[in-house]
Structure 1
Amino acid sequence: MTGDEGHVTRSRRPLRADARRNEDRLLEAAAAAFARDGMNASVKDIARAAGVGVGTLYRRFPSKELLFAAIYRLEVQRLCEAAPRLAAARPPVEALREWMERFIDFMAAKEGMADALRAVLSDDSEKLETRAMLAGAIDHLLTPAQGTSVARPEVKDQDVLMALGGISLMAGAEGRRELATRLIGLLLHGIVKN
């Protein structure tokens, strides 16, 4: 085994429990800082809020963009993981509405970080993977509604995702979160059978 192979092996090992806790705290602190200050968030403040040194932050995330990318991926994963829990806990239309509201909040938290988000998603395969994950979450909520004849069978998960993206852009441009909720209601009116 060459030295390079050893490095690859080490980098793929799961993090130790203390390192995992540090990373979790860093991601939580960074998410709050980016939501509050956008890409102007201070790396020193993030490290301090996480209870770690700046060196620890830079060892794991050598740039602010890589830290943002890790947060973005984690938040997409959490949003997608919420779909099956909501589907199990709520009636289909209510579960879909709540997930849509969470999606809008997720997108609103990225406001002011559009340039960084474009950099994170500059790889077309990553964009496609993210879209597929989000569409899969919607499908997880839409299928039960269609299976119980509550939702129109012709509605597709990709259509709902595109509509949510439009709602997010409009409400964000207007700076009116309540507009998003109203538009979600209209979107659901088109999804749900009368």
Structure 2
Amino acid sequence: MAERERRADAVANRDRIVAAARAELSESNGDADDLKLHRVAKAAGVGQGTLYRHFPTREHLLAEVYRAELTQLVDTVAPLLAEHSPLEALTRWLHRLIEYARVKRGVMAAIEVPAWRDLYDGQHHRLDEALETLLDRGKAVGEVRDGVDAADVILLLGALSRIPGAEWNARAPRIVAVIVDGLRRPA
């Protein structure tokens, strides 16, 4: 029983560390260089030793933040479709994707290229599948234009990577609005 409690405590510590790192990244506008591990440990309510036991390097922590962010983004598809029309669900999901993109941008800047490539290659299909589900539902009810697939939208979303950090909050939602307008089935 004590072993299970310790494991549950370790999982809770790990989750708090990832959440604290995510919050720090968000506050720093996705700038992973501003991510201070001692602040993450303090915000998570753990010692630095606990942080380093779970995440031996900044890269390990950032990779886990990215994975967690992607999982949260993918996991929002079903609830959004259950509560909203397909186009509204897609729109809300794309706005949630703005936060994912901010985190991804910070992680990409901080992790060496080979490590980033490995991380991205192992995960990107999940994003494609989530987006394809939203698009297919929208097409099925006539809200989303035919002939558009996830790859098309992801190419358009690449514009987010070109937004200067200082302009992110103003421009990212406008870009998403333009993309959604382009996805609407013509009258």
TM-score class, shorter-chain normalisation, is 0.7 to 0.9
Matching residue's letter, 1:140: T
Q: What does residue range 29-108 of structure 1 map to in structure 2 within 5 Å?
A: 29-37=20-28, 38-108=32-102
SS in 2 for 1:16: helix
Matching residue's letter, 1:163: L
Residue 113 of structure 1: how far off its partner (Å): 4.6
1:136 to 129, 132, 143: 129
2:63–2:107 Cα contact (<8 Å) kept: no
Provide closer, same or farther for how the CA distance between residues 144 and 131 of structure 1 changes in structure 2, counting only shifts above 3 A. same
Partner of 1:9: none
**Structure 1 spans left out of the alignment, 5+ residues:** 1-12
1:26–1:47 Cα contact (<8 Å) kept: yes
Q: How many residues align?
A: 178
2:18–2:65 Cα contact (<8 Å) kept: yes
Cα separation, 2, equivalents of 1:113 and 1:144: 31
Matching residue's letter, 2:120: K
Identity %: 32
Provide closer, same or farther for how the CA distance between residues 86 and 23 of structure 1 changes in structure 2, counting only shifts above 3 A. same
Q: Is the radius of gyration larger for structure 1 or structure 2?
A: 1
Q: TM-score, normalised by structure 2?
A: 0.85
Residue 41 of structure 1: how far off its partner (Å): 2.1
SS in 1 for 2:27: helix
1:29–1:50 Cα contact (<8 Å) kept: yes
2:10 to 14, 19, 33: 19
Residue 53 of structure 1: how far off its partner (Å): 1.1
Residue 178 of structure 1: how far off its partner (Å): 2.8
Cα separation, 2, equivalents of 1:76 and 1:144: 21
2:22–2:65 Cα contact (<8 Å) kept: yes
2:62–2:107 Cα contact (<8 Å) kept: no
Aligned Cα root-mean-square deviation (Å): 2.2
SS in 2 for 1:175: helix
Residue 108 of structure 1: how far off its partner (Å): 2.1
Matching residue's letter, 2:140: G
Provide closer, same or farther for how the CA distance between residues 175 and 56 of structure 1 changes in structure 2, counting only shifts above 3 A. same
**1:177 and 2:177 are equivalent in the alignment:** no
Residue 100 of structure 1: how far off its partner (Å): 0.7
1:35–1:110 Cα contact (<8 Å) kept: no
